[in-house]
Amino acid sequence: MAMVKEIMGQPMLGAFCFDASTGLSHLKRGALKHKKFSLFPIFSCSSMLAQELKKGVQVFAKDEESNIALALNPVTLTITGTVTINNSKITEKETMAKILQHFDTSNNTLRGRGLVMQLVSTEFDPRTMEPKLSNRAVLNLFNEFKIGADEMSTYKVEFEIDSNFGLAGAITVTNKYDQEIFLEVISIEGVVDIACNSWVQPDKVHSEKRIFFGNKAYLPWNTPMGLRELREEELRQLRGDGKGVRRACDRVYDYDVYNDLGNPDEGNEHVRPILGTKEFPDPRRCRTGRPRTMIDEKYESPVNASMETYVPRDEAFEGVKKEGLDCEKLKGITRNLIPFFTTCVAKCGDFKQLSDITNIYKRKDLHEIKAEKGKPSQPMDVIRKIYDDVEEYFKFNTPRINGGTDCCIRDEELGRQALAGVNPLSIKRLETFPPISNLDPSLYGAQESALKEEHIINHLDGMSVEQAMSEKKLYMLDYHDAYLPFLKAINAQEDRKAYATRTILYLTRIGTLKPIAIELSLPEGEPSKQVLTPPLDGTSYWLWQLAKAHVCSNDAGVHQLVQHWLRTHSCMEPFIIAAHRQLSVMHPIFKLLKPHMKHTLQINALAREALINAGGIIESDFTSGKYSTHMVSAAYRDCWRFDMEALPADLIRRGMAEHDPTHPHGLRLLIEDYPYADDGLLIWVALENLVRTYVNYYYNDEFMVQSDKELQAWYDEIINVGHADHRDASWWPRLSTPSDLTTILTTLIWVTSVQHSALNFGQYPLGGYVPMRSPLMKKLLPKEEDQEYKDFLEDPKGYLLSSLPNLYQTTKFLAVVSILSQHSMDEEYLGQRALSGWVGDPEIIEAFYKFSIDIRRIEKEIEKRNGDPKRRNRCGAGIPPYELLIASSDPGVTCRGVPNSISI
């Protein structure tokens, strides 16, 4: 194979050695013009020649006349390629069309069909100043079509090239069939592999030829002359013209505002603000171009039964990922049938006792235990088992975190989950007491905290508040500013009641956090602020439990809307769109980022369709309701900064770490057993080392970074188009040096892989027990002068349960977070990636290999930490291990696994 590469990498006249006395007569002008040779017979001409070719030494004819003849009359060669088609991505409808085409020979249906392919050389033809091309080759797939073919089918195709063709660097493909075809890879006699992994549309749908490049990476200025024009053409196709309705078969990446979350045509109740405007800033989304609504043309009409949300064709779920998602959605629908009837039809869906909640989850029955022990079953036992099995099908798996016989979260568990739960990004150190609001007093009134020293002084182990802060013992979950601007509107909704909460937590001697005060705020004009502290009697005990439930509800909303949706899904979408529009697939930075962008646009499109839209899951099941998008926009405006998304910067901003060069990561965590940060720093350092090695391999100095027109266009478009509402922000990192690029890329990969996993895959296992983490609350704390207070005193547990979502809301919520927490069968995890794009770059392959080894080593270190009894936030009686940052995972809901991309 090495010889073949050497031959195709130089003019073919160097591959032959002729004796002038015997072979000259065959080299007269035009004598070889139509003669064809196969590459393979050449290998046997002599071992010496083979050795010379391996060394890259050109072998010439023995006289000048022969050389001239070869140059003027290039030999026509036939080379063989293999084309791999992925049959598993072809639907039954398309398969049937193939079968009909194959057997319908009476009207010559196959005439003119086929995949028309043409190799493109890396070299220019000096006569035409255009890329050298092979002759067109036509591959008729149905000549070899077999019913019941394997998942992958490989076909041979022959190309004719001139002996001075050079190295093939790309191939163009035209699909003459009626159906799209998924190309996996095209390999040319082991000389060049072209990883396609893409759908090719019929030319009657897309007349432009599809362009696929070889696996070798090229920066813009060192792109071979023969590929430069194609490089620009491919990007032009991906950018589109920004007009028209995008079809499912398109592969165009463009921007739009979030104007598709509501539907004015259905009435004012279905109107939502357009996100991505001056009033409601937001990142941009992928443009679909659907028709506008009739009432207000600023809004795009929502999807309907006959129209799915557009994403570029190669971004759509396929194969086992799509099948798995469809299966889980169907399971979720069936599980919600009984709760829907009970709640919406029978009107008896409110929880009245704890068993109403625990019955949602699966249990291990006595008859199953007996069966496991091998005891014979009686006929009635069999009938009962069948009945119970049917009943159990409609139930949910018991989450890893559950309260058992308790209907509320324990103090120590609330503090532990702030460090090792599904939302470890909100906890921050208390540096000013009382806490200060950043809300504009001219809009929201003075927001002075009601927290006083007397509320917490008895819980500080004899320290003053100032001393406790100076010794970094006080921390806070602060949701005041996130909720207060919207509370009046939120609380005006039916069955929605919320506070803006602040929770003060104290760092104990054993490294755990315990809540010592909770401030509950309402809008100005109401009895706006009250402070609760750990209980002293029965009444204060239950009021404290209600206050904690509101804290957890605040946390659930901020986690889902801000930390999860905004900071990972939404804010990363412009980076992905810009990468496809401005970075060629041959660009080394695109190759690095590619696995970290996979399927994110599809997931975000589904979220716009069913999660964050008007009447979607988040509005239905979270306290924020129809004001959820308002909260997202406000958080984007006031809080999101790309320079703070890097793990070290985020930890320092929240006061959870300090610079310390004596520590392995250059940071000292102020809470040593902070599992998300402690484990995360291991991965951050390994990831940063990989990216630094990669960047320095391609960029020797800052001039190379600054003069890379594709790279600079990518970053400029991210800022000025994708995040246009922050285009003037001073905090955007510069992109001038290899070090700048390393930080930007490390942050991107961190957010799309590790940070997203920490926020996503624990949603069901760590947040699926509703009494401990309710997504919404329906009641405020009772007031002594109201009738509710008497009800509360008579049955405090019943009052708390009636404050939680009803049965149908609960099962809908559980069905969704169960789907979101799933790993698919074909998931690719951090440390796993194909390396075919760097076959000629051993330094890069070595760097990826080292990173993979680092990830495996980190997994073992995390497992070791999880077994350390000194680490009380991840080890102990009833304490689950922290596994969210263990990179590998089995399929399903595992509460571990770090996929390469924002994926489910």
Going by pLDDT thresholds of 50, 70 and 90, the confidence category of residue 484 is: very high
| Residues 135 and 160 sit within 8 Å (Cβ to Cβ) | yes
- In the structure encoding, which two tokens stand for residue 126, read together? 């000096």
| Residues 276 and 257 sit within 8 Å (Cβ to Cβ) | yes
List the single range of 236-245, 392-401, 507-516, 745-754 with lowest mean pLDDT: 392-401
> Of 66-75, 177-186, 297-306, which has the strongest mean pLDDT?
177-186
| Residues 667 and 660 sit within 8 Å (Cβ to Cβ) | yes
| Residues 770 and 809 sit within 8 Å (Cβ to Cβ) | no
pLDDT of residue 708: 97
Q: Report which DSSP code applies to 526.
A: B
pLDDT of residue 578: 98
Instruction: Give CA–CA dist 781/550, Å, rounded.
Output: 9
Non-local (6+) Cβ contacts of 757 within 8 A are: 884, 885, 897, 898, 899
Non-local (6+) Cβ contacts of 390 within 8 A are: none
| Residues 175 and 181 sit within 8 Å (Cβ to Cβ) | yes
Instruction: Give CA–CA dist 496/473, Å, rounded.
Output: 35
> Alpha carbon of 152 to those of 87, 182, 185, 196: distances in Å?
6, 10, 10, 14
Q: Give the model confidence (pLDDT) of 540-566 as tens digits.
A: 999 999 999 999 999 999 999 999 999
> Alpha carbon of 215 to those of 212, 349, 588, 690: distances in Å?
9, 58, 10, 20
- DSSP secondary structure string for all residues of 27-60: GSTTTTTT-EEEHHHHTTS-HHHHHHHHTT----
Instruction: Give CA–CA dist 156/565, Å, rounded.
Output: 46
Q: Which of 30, 37, 25 is nearest to 165 (CA)?
A: 37
In degrees, to the nearest 5, what angle opens at C-alpha 161 toward C-alphas 158 and 166? 120
Instruction: Give CA–CA dist 317/564, Å, rounded.
Output: 21
- Beta strand 513-521 with 255-256: parallel, antiparallel or unpaired? unpaired
| Residues 186 and 81 sit within 8 Å (Cβ to Cβ) | yes
> Alpha carbon of 440 to those of 121, 190, 480, 714: distances in Å?
63, 66, 13, 36
Q: Give the model confidence (pLDDT) of 665-723 as tens digits.
A: 889 999 999 999 999 999 999 999 999 999 999 999 999 999 999 999 999 999 999 99
Q: Which of 802, 778, 775 is nearest to 351 (CA)?
A: 802
- In the structure encoding, which two tokens stand for residue 153, read together? 């089918």
Instruction: Give CA–CA dist 245/239, Å, rounded.
Output: 14
Instruction: Give CA–CA dist 579/718, Å, rounded.
Output: 9
pLDDT of residue 525: 66
pLDDT of residue 400 exceeding 80, the answer is yes
- In the structure encoding, which two tokens stand for residue 832, read together? 């796993």
Mean pLDDT of the chain: 86
- In the structure encoding, which two tokens stand for residue 856, read together? 């495996």
**Number of helical H runs and strand E runs in the chain:** 35, 21
Question: Helix/strand/coil (H, E, C) string of 398-453?
Answer: CCCCCCCCCCCCCHHHHHHHHHHCCCCCCCEECCCCCCCCCCCHHHHCCCCCCCCH
pLDDT of residue 105 exceeding 50, the answer is no
Instruction: Give CA–CA dist 79/93, Å, rounded.
Output: 35
Going by pLDDT thresholds of 50, 70 and 90, the confidence category of residue 193 is: confident
Going by pLDDT thresholds of 50, 70 and 90, the confidence category of residue 70 is: low
Instruction: Give CA–CA dist 15/59, Å, rounded.
Output: 6
- In the structure encoding, which two tokens stand for residue 643, read together? 């320079």
Exposure class string for 828-858: b at 16+ Cβ within 10 A, else e: ebbbebeeebbeebeebeebbeebbebbeeb
Going by pLDDT thresholds of 50, 70 and 90, the confidence category of residue 839 is: confident
Mean pLDDT over residues 198-224, rounded?
Answer: 94
Going by pLDDT thresholds of 50, 70 and 90, the confidence category of residue 505 is: very high
- Residues that are catalytic: 564, 569, 756, 760, 904
| Residues 251 and 293 sit within 8 Å (Cβ to Cβ) | no
Q: Side-chain half-sphere of 616: how many Cα atoms within 13 Å? A: 23
> Alpha carbon of 124 to those of 2, 120, 132, 233, 351: distances in Å?
23, 10, 6, 17, 75
pLDDT of residue 20: 32
Quick count: other Cβ atoms within 10 Å of Cβ 706? Answer: 15
363, containing H or E segment? none
| Residues 629 and 261 sit within 8 Å (Cβ to Cβ) | yes
Q: Give the model confidence (pLDDT) of 11-61 as tens digits.
A: 333 333 333 333 333 333 333 333 333 322 222 333 333 333 333 333 334
State phi, psi for 122 to the nearest 5 degrees: -75, -10
Instruction: Give CA–CA dist 554/490, Å, rounded.
Output: 12
Going by pLDDT thresholds of 50, 70 and 90, the confidence category of residue 367 is: very low
- In the structure encoding, which two tokens stand for residue 503, read together? 């929770």
| Residues 148 and 116 sit within 8 Å (Cβ to Cβ) | no
Instruction: Give CA–CA dist 194/12, Å, rounded.
Output: 22
> Alpha carbon of 398 to those of 130, 365, 431, 769: distances in Å?
65, 14, 39, 8
| Residues 53 and 7 sit within 8 Å (Cβ to Cβ) | yes
Q: Report which DSSP code applies to 345.
A: I
Which comes out higher in pLDDT, residue 372 or 317?
Answer: 317
Mean pLDDT over residues 269-282, rounded?
Answer: 96
pLDDT of residue 572 exceeding 90, the answer is yes
Going by pLDDT thresholds of 50, 70 and 90, the confidence category of residue 317 is: confident
- Beta strand 76-86 with 36-38: parallel, antiparallel or unpaired? parallel
Q: Report which DSSP code applies to 502.
A: E
Mean pLDDT over residues 567-575, rounded?
Answer: 98
pLDDT of residue 111: 56
List the single range of 318-327, 371-380, 821-830 with lowest mean pLDDT: 371-380
| Residues 238 and 199 sit within 8 Å (Cβ to Cβ) | no
Percentage of residues in the chain with pLDDT exceeding 70?
Answer: 84
290, containing H or E segment? none
- At residue 866, the 3 state secondary structure works out as helix
pLDDT of residue 7 exceeding 50, the answer is no
State phi, psi for 641 to the nearest 5 degrees: -140, 125
Instruction: Give CA–CA dist 485/475, Å, rounded.
Output: 23
Q: Give the model confidence (pLDDT) of 427-479 as tens digits.
A: 999 999 999 999 999 888 888 999 999 999 999 999 999 999 999 999 999 99
Q: Which of 579, 549, 839, 594 is nearest to 713 (CA)?
A: 579
pLDDT of residue 41: 29
| Residues 899 and 870 sit within 8 Å (Cβ to Cβ) | no
Looking up tokens 């962008």 gives 597
| Residues 811 and 336 sit within 8 Å (Cβ to Cβ) | yes
Q: Give the model confidence (pLDDT) of 766-824 as tens digits.
A: 999 999 999 999 999 999 988 899 999 999 999 999 999 999 999 999 999 999 999 99
End-to-end CA distance of the chain: 40
